[in-house]
Amino acid sequence: MQKRKLGNSNLEVSAIGLGCMGMSYGYGPAADKKEMISLIRSAVEQGVTFFDTAEVYGPFINEELVGEALLPFRNKVAIATKFGFNLDPTGKEQWTGLNSKPEHIKEVAEASLKRLKTDVIDLFYQHRVDPNVPIEEVAGAVKDLIKEGKVKHFGLSEAGVNTIRRAHAVQPVTALQSEYSLFWREPETEIIPTLEELGIGFVPFSPLGKGFLTGKIDETTTFDKNDFRNTVPRFTPENRKANQALVDLLGKIAQSKNVTPAQIALAWLLEQKPWIVPIPGTTKLHRLEENIGGANVELSSDVLKEIKETASNITITGDRYSASAQKMIDR
């Protein structure tokens, strides 16, 4: 597996990481813990060195899973986790609102270190921008944690350009984690040029469009009752049908190269910038191997041109979040 550096930082990771959220939360019931530990360890054996989790995934159980799975390999891998929510103590709701107060950030760091069975967090992201706490205070709190040796790198997630610049002025931001794929190309307008200017790496989540770009989902697909895609406008049957043209494009190119649509989608992302590191998630070994294989797919300038021209003529329909989740996106 090739390695990539996230921006100007010294954080070097595998070109493709592993998003672990879906193992515990989001796409239906939590998967079997022993099987997921085995899957994470298989990823390490195949060269993956970058693993993504968060306290809110579960909550808590995903960090515990990742910590246990990676304990034997801790000095060979980078673990990213996140802060920024008030979690519901009753367990009825996943969270009760945003909270990036400095004292809360430090409490979350201590708790995450224990769950991850480690003495340092490689990359600590603000999960969502908190409009009630100046980003300078957030960056300052993480700066303190870095000075204390509890965190190595500071990250932001779904942050807008102004927030990125203000945070970076206080504590250099190593990476931005936001959605980016052929299914959601908005970051190309302002975000990617800003990251390039400031020397910040980009970690796209949902690089396979929450599964849509794999070609395994169509308008007739039904999701588990606990699958959050049921709340996503982009995943209504009519929108899936309308957006099928993008999957057809990937399928056509994949067929010509004897690879899969998912591998083309990941290879396309890797071609955009050398400091982009996608983190596809999965609970299946054969999908893990398929995703890792995306790093070995080379796309010629002609193929990249074809994707760009064809995709630019495809209008994607449906919002990528529910109305309530959309409100938490920083602009």
Query: Is residue 308 one of the residues assigned to a domain?
Result: no
Q: What is the pLDDT of residue 88?
A: 86
Query: Is residue 277 one of the residues assigned to a domain?
Result: yes
Mean pLDDT in the chain? 97
Band of pLDDT at residue 331, cut at 50, 70 and 90: confident
Give the pLDDT mean for 159-166. Answer: 98
Q: What is the pLDDT of residue 8?
A: 97
Q: What is the pLDDT of residue 330?
A: 85
The range of the structural domain enclosing residue 287 comes to 3-212+273-297
Residues 6+ apart with CB under 8 A from 202: 175, 176, 178, 180, 187, 191, 192, 195, 273, 275, 276, 277
Query: Is residue 202 one of the residues assigned to a domain?
Result: yes
Active site residues: 57
Query: Is residue 245 one of the residues assigned to a domain?
Result: no
- Residue 232 and residue 286: Cα distance in Å, rounded? 27
Q: Which two tokens stand for residue 115?
A: 């769950």
Residue 130 sits in a domain whose CATH number is 3.20.20.100
Q: What is the pLDDT of residue 94?
A: 85
Query: Is residue 47 one of the residues assigned to a domain?
Result: yes
DSSP per-residue codes, 149-167: TSEEEEEEES--HHHHHHH
Q: Is the pLDDT of residue 66 over 90?
A: yes
Q: What is the pLDDT of residue 91?
A: 78
Query: Is residue 238 one of the residues assigned to a domain?
Result: no
Query: Is residue 250 one of the residues assigned to a domain?
Result: no
**Are the CB atoms for 278 and 203 separated by under 8 Å?**
yes
Count of structural domains within the chain = 1
Q: What is the pLDDT of residue 57?
A: 96
pLDDT digits (tens, 9 = 90+) for 71-122: 999 999 999 999 999 998 877 788 999 999 999 999 999 999 999 999 999 9
**Are the CB atoms for 174 and 195 separated by under 8 Å?**
no
**Are the CB atoms for 224 and 29 separated by under 8 Å?**
yes
Instruction: Report the C-alpha dihedral over residues 73, 295, 308, 239, rounded to 10 degrees.
Output: -60
pLDDT digits (tens, 9 = 90+) for 223-276: 999 999 999 999 999 999 999 999 999 999 999 999 999 999 999 999 999 999
What are the helix and strand counts (H, E) for the chain?
A: 12, 11
pLDDT digits (tens, 9 = 90+) for 5-34: 999 999 999 999 999 999 999 999 999 999
Query: Is residue 21 one of the residues assigned to a domain?
Result: yes
Give the phi and the psi of residue 269 in degrees, each rounded to 5. -60, -45
Give the pLDDT mean for 46-53. Answer: 98
